[in-house]
Amino acid sequence: MGIRKVTVNNFRSIRAVDDLELGPLTVLIGRNNSGKSALLRAMYLAQAGVNFQSGDVRLRTGGPIVVDMTVAGGQYPGSISEHWSPTWGTMPDDIRIRVDANARSIDVKLVWRIAQASDLSENRLPGGLSANRPGHLFVPILSRRRSGAYDQTINRERTATVHPSDSNLAASISSLSGEYAEGVKFRRLIKSVFDLDRIDLFAAENGQSPGIAISSSEGIELERMGEGVSGALKILSEIALAGDHVFLVEEPENDLHPEALRRLLDAMIEATVDGASQFIVSTHSDLVLRMLGAEPGAVVYRTEMVWKDGLPETSYHLVADAYDRHAALRELGYEESLPAGWLVFEEASAEYFVNNALIPEFAPRLAGLKSVSAQGAGNLARTVDALYRLVLFAHLRDKSLPRAWVIADGGTPGLTAKAKLEERFPTWPPDRFIVLGKTQIEDYYPDRFRDSVSQISQERDKKKQGEMKGELARKVCQWYNKEPESASDELKLSAEEVIAALQTIEAQIGTLFD
């Protein structure tokens, strides 16, 4: 289910846009005030509860706002199927939602062509599409959705209403507090994005307040938590509740740490696959563009504002090829040139040691590759996936020839990471994922550093241990730079396995890039 294409006339900066094709994920990029949000808000006019103002009608047009959306056939949402009469026969593959609005009113209707008939039929929807669960079509996640305070009253009406603001978030969370599938999913999403076990409701002055319950009578209110947490909770709660609906999302990146944003985007992508939801997203973030734009079937548009006859006018340009995609990344501030390939290491100390001692001495051709540290074996699969999405979005590389090599420490964490990577990338040659024989890179340092390695192994504080690893890696490389000839002989013995892996990669580069 989803909106296949949309036509908009006379809404704000949109004079006319015809049959704009949409995908399961549609990303809108462009400068401020260029018309990204206008498309989302024009589509939302079809649903009850929209805040429509006379100023939304385009100036000097003399005509009404017209929004025409073609709904893909199949399992129609309740807001459409409930208005279909059995006397009209089988529901057609294409049903259009038509909105006509002026300064005084909004008229919404369904329009379709009956099989073997030339005339269009229509059915008016007083008040618009339903804004109540489960029959709603649109889930508005708008940039000005956040409330200064949350409505603490919880009842059936508030729980059922899909509201454009965050004001009824407490009611949504209340409906997700149980052990049924939606509640379990909501808590899983919260844990994944924010590493919080749960968001609760606790007694407040006028009802119940959302936040983190500390005891039966007190808690940390959501208003006291970071803006990023409160802003993303609405998206997560709606993903858990909504099912197969159309999300209209403005700037999901606002106030979010990049890692939390990455996990939020993963949840949105999962919803398009598992729940058949559709997302239309406006953004200023290159991370949002790279992650969502790389998904199968995703569509990206760049908005542009020009002035015609004294009025601003928005146009939508499909980001279709490699040149356009590079330009889109640069527009959002992603200026780093893409290398020929990547070396992904489990830890920063391994990355530093290999780059500053082993590669210069034993595998110099690898200097042209970019290295990345995953900060732990558990993050290897996610790190490689992020790189893959970047390359896939930019259309720079043949997907059948991966230009990434992963070097993990030995032991269970490294083997588990390799298994996840092989599952995620089944077409990649298995030799792209290398698991060393020893459990830490420090075990490959020469014997002269054995006492320092032993001290690191005995340290139980992970943060301090990481600092010690970094300091020792710097000492090893300083020693190499100061005594390169003797260091080369010692490294050749102590790091023989790592050197052999690097030289194998170097030989593969000759096959892939020469």
pLDDT at 173 over 60: yes
pLDDT at 75 over 70: no
pLDDT at 274 over 60: yes
CA dihedral sign of residues 87, 91, 96, 102: positive
pLDDT at 241: 82
pLDDT at 214 over 90: no
> In this structure, are 181 and 210 located in the same domain?
yes
In the block, residue with structure tokens 């939020």: 264
Q: Which amino acid is at 373?
A: S
Instruction: State how far the Cα of 33 lies from the Cα of 36, in Å rounded to an integer.
Output: 8
CATH number assigned to the domain comprising residue 48: 3.40.50.300
pLDDT at 338: 66
Higher-scoring residue by pLDDT: 110, 211: 110
> In this structure, are 472 and 508 located in the same domain?
yes
In the chain, how many domains are there? 3
Residues spanned by the domain of 184 = 146-242
Say if residue 67 is exposed, middle or buried (CB neighbours under 10 Å; 0-12, 13-18, 19+).
buried
Q: What is the DSSP string of 270-290?
A: HHHHHS--EEEEEES-HHHHH
CA dihedral sign of residues 218, 141, 232, 277: positive
**193, 223, 242 — which closes off a domain?**
242
pLDDT at 138 over 80: yes
> In this structure, are 238 and 261 located in the same domain?
no
- 3-state DSSP helix/strand/coil percent for the chain, to nearest 5? 40, 25, 35
> In this structure, are 367 and 442 located in the same domain?
yes
Higher-scoring residue by pLDDT: 81, 507: 507
pLDDT at 109 over 50: yes
Which of the residue ranges 142-146, 163-167, 395-399 has the most confident prediction, judged by mean pLDDT? 163-167
| CB of 77 closer than 8 Å to CB of 136 | yes
Tens of pLDDT, residue by residue over 450-491, are: 999 999 999 999 889 999 999 999 999 999 999 888 899 999
Interior CA angle at 4 toward 271 and 276, to 5°? 20
> In this structure, are 189 and 256 located in the same domain?
no
Instruction: State how far the Cα of 453 lies from the Cα of 468, in Å rounded to an integer.
Output: 9
> In this structure, are 263 and 346 located in the same domain?
no
| CB of 94 closer than 8 Å to CB of 87 | no
Tens of pLDDT, residue by residue over 398-457, are: 445 567 899 999 999 999 999 999 998 888 888 899 999 999 999 999 999 999 999 999
pLDDT at 249: 94
> In this structure, are 303 and 330 located in the same domain?
yes
pLDDT at 514: 47
Report, as an integer, the average pLDDT of 189-198.
88
Q: Which amino acid is at 293?
A: G
pLDDT at 115: 59
**317, 335, 353 — which closes off a domain?**
335
> In this structure, are 358 and 491 located in the same domain?
yes
Report, as an integer, the average pLDDT of 188-193.
91
Please give the radius of gyration of the chain, using alpha carbons only, rounded to the nearest integer.
27
pLDDT at 1: 55
Report, as an integer, the average pLDDT of 133-143.
86
> In this structure, are 206 and 289 located in the same domain?
no
**Weakest-pLDDT range from 12-16, 143-147, 266-270, 505-509:** 143-147
Helices (runs of H) and strands (runs of E) counted in the chain: 17, 19
pLDDT level of residue 195 (50, 70, 90 thresholds): confident
Which of the residue ranges 111-125, 199-213, 239-253 has the most confident prediction, judged by mean pLDDT? 239-253
pLDDT at 174: 81
Instruction: State how far the Cα of 55 lies from the Cα of 312, in Å rounded to an integer.
Output: 14
Q: Which residues pair with 67 in a beta bridge?
A: 8, 99
**Weakest-pLDDT range from 54-58, 82-86, 422-426:** 82-86
Q: Which residues pair with 212 in a beta bridge?
A: 220
Tens of pLDDT, residue by residue over 326-377, are: 788 888 887 666 676 889 999 999 999 999 999 999 998 888 788 999 988 8
| CB of 297 closer than 8 Å to CB of 23 | yes
**318, 335, 352 — which closes off a domain?**
335
Higher-scoring residue by pLDDT: 120, 74: 120
pLDDT at 396: 47
pLDDT at 232: 86
pLDDT at 500 over 90: yes
Q: What is the mean pLDDT of the chain?
A: 85
> In this structure, are 128 and 159 located in the same domain?
no
> In this structure, are 168 and 203 located in the same domain?
yes
Q: What is the DSSP string of 319-347?
A: --SHHHHHHHHHHTT--PPP-S-EEEESS
pTM (whole model) above 0.85: no
SS3 track for 372-395: EECCCHHHHHHHHHHHHHHHHHHC
> In this structure, are 72 and 163 located in the same domain?
no
Report, as an integer, the average pLDDT of 37-66.
86
Region of residue 116 (phi > 0: left; psi between -120 and 50: alpha; otherwise: beta): left
